[in-house]
Amino acid sequence: MRSRGGARRDPSIHRGRRRRRRRGVSKRSRSRATRKDQTAVRSGRLRSWAFPAIFIVAALSAVVVVALTVASSPASEGVKATRPVLGDQAAPVLIEEYGDFQCPSCGAFARTVEPQIRAVYIDTGRVRLAWHDFAWIGQESRTAANAARCAGDQGQFWEYHDLLYQNQAGENGGAFSTGNLKGFGDTLGLEPTAFGACVDADRYGSAVQADFAKVRKNGFNGTPTFVIGDQRIVGAQPFEVFAAAIDAALATQ
């Protein structure tokens, strides 16, 4: 279900919106791939569970739908040794990303903004990026998340992460089928027997679900969501938004 602004909504929430629409609340309305990525970045479109409080805010002002969401963040769970982390482990600033491999706004961020963050902050040793699975869109979100962790067993989580986002094609329509997930492993040169066994066994399925449970407990409701210091950013915001938050965090070190 999509609103006028392009965000996809959970169907159960749409039913609640229909009831509210009878009381005068107007409805809202995704972009995908190269040309539309920039639109997604500019608008900060996000995938949202959209709990009732969010709809109340959205009804008050359209600006809230597309603007940066910055708020005090719940306490981080910390970065466990087994969590995928990109960059120097001693980097002073940590970005925690909560994403879904089927989320188009997550893909827009990964293809357009994240490379800039890597070049300016991560590759220079000032920032590290930790990944949290917020796999809520459907079964292919969960199987893709498991496969990425399987690639991580061979030291290629982030390469697989990038390949998934480069190959987004709709939702739960077969783009991330088991066959395609194994094919992505072949593209990266992963050892096929070990990788295939990990994918088939859904080895990290419980870990993916555990991440999701923690995300919900923290009250996150959209993908992608980022935590940088005490700030939370929701949506595929422009690089400048992230740079401001990162620079502020660096200034406190």
Which has more pLDDT, 53 or 216?
216
H helices of the chain, where? Answer: 11-21, 33-43, 52-60, 62-66, 104-108, 114-117, 139-152, 157-166, 178-188, 192-201, 205-217, 239-251
As given in the structure block, the two tokens for residue 78 are 């910390």
Residue 224 pLDDT grade (very low, low, confident, very high; cuts 50, 70, 90): very high
**Gap between the terminal Cα atoms of the chain:** 43
Q: What is the pLDDT of residues 163-216, one digit of tens each?
A: 999 999 989 999 999 999 999 999 999 999 999 999 999 999 999 999 999 999
Over range 45-50, report the average pLDDT.
Answer: 45
Amino acid 81: pLDDT? 52
pLDDT reading at 33 higher than 70: no
Amino acid 55: pLDDT? 34
Identify the CATH number of the domain defined by range 85-251. 3.40.30.10
Amino acid 75: pLDDT? 40
Rounded Cα distance between 26 and 24, Å, is 6
As given in the structure block, the two tokens for residue 111 are 């293809």
pLDDT reading at 25 higher than 70: no
Amino acid 150: pLDDT? 99
Amino acid 80: pLDDT? 53
Listed in order, the ranges of the chain carrying CATH 3.40.30.10 are 85-251
Contact 160, 184 (CB under 8 A): yes
Q: What is the pLDDT of residues 124-157, one digit of tens each?
A: 999 999 999 999 999 999 999 999 999 999 999 9
Q: What is the pLDDT of residues 54-113, one digit of tens each?
A: 333 333 333 333 334 444 444 444 455 579 999 999 999 999 999 999 999 999 999 999
Residue 24 C-alpha from the chain's centroid = 32
**Residue 201 burial (C-beta neighbours within 10 Å; 0-12, 13-18, 19+):** exposed
- Asked if residue 224 has a cis previous peptide bond (ω within 30° of 0), the answer is yes
**What is the DSSP code string of 78-129?**
---TTS-EES-TT-SEEEEEEE-TT-HHHHHIIIIIHHHHIIIIITTTSEEE
How many CA atoms are closer than 13 Å to the CA of 2, on its beta-carbon side? 10
